[in-house]
Structure 1
Amino acid sequence: MKVLVLTGPESSGKSWLAAEIQARFGGVVVGEYVRHFIDAQQRDTCYTDIAEIARGQLAWEDAARAATPALLILDTHLLSNMLWSQCLFGDCPSWLEGELLARRYDQHLLLDPTGVPWVEDGQRCQPQLVERQAFHQACRDWLLANGQRFSELSGDWGQRRQAALGHVAALLGSTDQHAGPGH
């Protein structure tokens, strides 16, 4: 099983790319538990919700891992929970980082917010590019500091898709790295 993580700021294409990768290579996609949580609670999150949201994300991830698909595509993982907790509340439950580091991730695709528009969806809260760039940098800093394998994706939607499909083909050992349908 290869585990791929899409990470980076909101509105940079993580969910869209997860679907594109799954359509091309198959596999199982694990979405963002926080979106489910907010939809179910019908309110903004508060600091006391962070642990529950993180446990929910881990439960979804661990259930998908237990099925041992050839490719596991994570639309997010605990890094986002940690960074959002710090960003919104100035603190983060200490156990999150340990849980994140206890799991193996084969490749992270870090999405740059530059080059694509921010899209309001009712849950996003960083419309300013400078805020999303700071989040991107915090992701990059953590990945580097913790020796995580990652590649940065930037450009327009088409360039991101082509780069992502190429990285996943390489991860899976496929010699066919064409981004078009049917390849």
Structure 2
Amino acid sequence: MKVLVLTGPESSGKSWLAAEIQARFGGVVVGEYVRHFIDLHQRDTCYADIDDIARGQLAWEDAARAARPALLILDTHLLSNLLWSRCLFADCPGWLETELLARHYDLHLLLDPAGVPWIEDGQRCQPLLAERQAFHRACHDWLQDSGQRYVALSGDWADRRDAAMTQVATLLGSANQHAGPGQ
């Protein structure tokens, strides 16, 4: 099983790219639990919610890992929970980073916010490019400092898709470069 993580600021194409990758290579996509949490509770999150949100994300990830798909595509993972907690509340439960570092991820695709428009969806809160770039830098710094394997993706939507497809094909090996869903 190869585990791919899409990471970066909001509105940089993570969910769209996860669907594009799944359509081409198959695999299982794990979505962003915080979106489910907000839809369920119909309110903004607070610091007290961080544990529940992070544990929900882990539960979704663990359920998908247990199925052992050839490709597991994470639309996000605990890094987003960790950074959003710090960004919004200037604090983060200590166990999040420990748990994040204890897990194996084969490749992170780090999406740059520049080059694509911010799209309002009722849950996003960083319409300013400078805010999203700061979040991107925080993602980059954490990936770099913790020795995670990552590739930065930028450009317009087509550039991101093309680069992602190349990276995933390499991750899966050349025999899978032209595989379709379920192959």
Whether the 8 Å contact between 2:113 and 2:136 is mirrored in structure 1 is yes
Offset of residue 107 of structure 1: 0.1
Offset of residue 174 of structure 1: 2.0
Query: TM-score of the superposition, structure 1-length normalised?
Result: 0.96
2:156 corresponds in structure 1 to 156
Deviation string 1:7-35 (CA, Å, 9 cap, x unpaired) is 00000000000000000000000000000
Count of aligned residue pairs for this structure pair: 181
2:81 corresponds in structure 1 to 81
Offset of residue 175 of structure 1: 5.0
Which piece of structure 1 moves more, 168-177 or 98-107? Answer: 168-177
Offset of residue 86 of structure 1: 0.3
What percentage of residue pairs aligned between the two structures are identical? 81
Offset of residue 159 of structure 1: 0.4
AA aligned to 2:167 is: H
Map residues 65-104 of structure 1 onto 2, 5 A cutoff.
Answer: 65-104=65-104
Distance 1:174 1:52 in 2: 40
Distance 2:143 2:176 in 1: 28
| RMSD between superposed Cα atoms in Å | 1.6
Deviation string 1:118-154 (CA, Å, 9 cap, x unpaired) is 0000000000000000000000000000000000000
Map residues 24-173 of structure 1 onto 2, 5 A cutoff.
Answer: 24-173=24-173
Distance 1:148 1:176 in 2: 24
Query: TM-score of the superposition, structure 2-length normalised?
Result: 0.96
- Unpaired runs of at least 5, structure 2: none
AA aligned to 1:50 is: I
Distance 1:148 1:61 in 2: 18
- Unpaired runs of at least 5, structure 1: none
